[in-house]
Structure 1
Amino acid sequence: MAKTEPAGHMKRKNYEKHLEGLQVELCHLQDFVKANNLRIIILFEGRDAAGKGGTIKAITEKVSPRVFRVVALPAPSDREKTQLFFQRYMERFPAGGEIVIFDRSWYNRAGVEYVMGFCAPAEHERFLTLCPLMEKYIIDGGIVLIKFWLEVGMDEQERRFKARIDDPLRQWKLSPMDLESYRRWYDYSRARDLMLKKTSTKHAPWYIVRSDDKRRARLNCIAHLLEAIPYQRVKKDKVELPPRSDRGHYNDQVTLRGMNFVAERY
């Protein structure tokens, strides 16, 4: 199914040219993080269809999953519901040389849980009070914390939802919860405003990314990320392929005769 480009949005060719350069720098950042044993958390929040998944994919598609680790937690299990609220998130925090990206995070309590009534008002209020203290504890412990809120407009969210309805490759992205969040747009707006007011602090500010144009949003987000983490290129010795060992009388293709090969249909 052909996808129509919204008027004024960045063209794919221009986007890919800029993205390639930024992804090269992400590889340099990766080397620096490994060499210096840094611990970094990047979290993404925003409305449904704001572009979180696409932005995270643009960040991670050219780097090692052993360094850039994506965490997208499902609803808590019965056991997790009995734990401290932050506990299941802290279990996924980075060790030295790791960057953990949260595709939604503990801020679920300030968003979907609050708006949908999955937590009590007192639990929501307690979260907003304790969250800045918890984040100060994280940062004082040596972890770099970067928080992004992707801000999509009402009309653009509607366009994306309708595109998901009509596209069999994207229908899985549209859940009953998405439809309910669409209906409660202004409830989410008020929850967003309260969250930003209470938890955008000097030590852990929120950075808002306008995401009506997904391509520009991805580029702007990666560029900010690279500026937020001072890094230098790590010098590495030039790699040269060693000579292969002597095979003697062995032929590693002859030994495959008679095995089950996948049909070459293409």
Structure 2
Amino acid sequence: MEWITDPQIWISFLTLTLLEIVLGIDNIVFISIQSGKLPLEQQKKARQLGLLLALVMRLGLLFSIKWIMGLTEPFLNLGDTFNIENPSWYRYLTLSGRDLILFIGGLFLIYKATTEIHHKVEGHVETASNRNRPLTFRSVIIQIIILDLVFSLDSVITAVGMVDQIGVMIAAVIVAVGIMLLSASTISRFVNDYPSVKMLALAFLLLIGVSLTAEAFDQHIPKGYIYFAMAFSVLVEFLNIRTEKTALQKLKDEVKE
């Protein structure tokens, strides 16, 4: 029980929990957008199931740390295959399991975000073919599982790089997902109630998709820059919403008078 009085353990726990919550924002946004396509009575269930699956994946990956670390080892070296000996190109010519997962996940996220943005901008009209193929609960959950795997892998590798004690990692992940579960409904409602905020959320997912594909080729884009840019954009949009509400209220008051 010495860990209870060890300040380093608590600092590591709090830091990792905060980081896991930040890394989980893109997960919540994707789940919110996907679950918002379902009937109202299924949306909460889809959000909760999606986040619980994320928790299960994160814990499963934490208990498979040896396998996770093995994913960072290159299994293909194009430099050897094509006899390229330039050392500066080495990192671009190797491929690991992690790189492959990030690349596929990034492309999937770019595709989904681009498709949704296209529908919003062009004005998606329901056709007979669309009505014959309604979005099902199962299809939404499958898409959530695919992205959960990518986000969970990124989250666990971050945790392993920050903390040595697996108990601290598990506790931080459980607390972070618990907070995400509590806030998911509020975030989902906010995203889906305001079209401009939803467009920002889709742009955020597109940006994350680009970041994931770049990381697959060892081009690391600090997530702090991405999150700060999106947080600033959301703040500006929030001020716009408040301004519109204030102007509308003043107009209603003038009409009453």
Q: TM-score, normalised by structure 1?
A: 0.25
By percentage of residues, which structure has more strand?
1
Q: TM-score, normalised by structure 2?
A: 0.25
Question: Higher Cα Rg: structure 1 or 2?
Answer: 1
By percentage of residues, which structure has more helix?
2
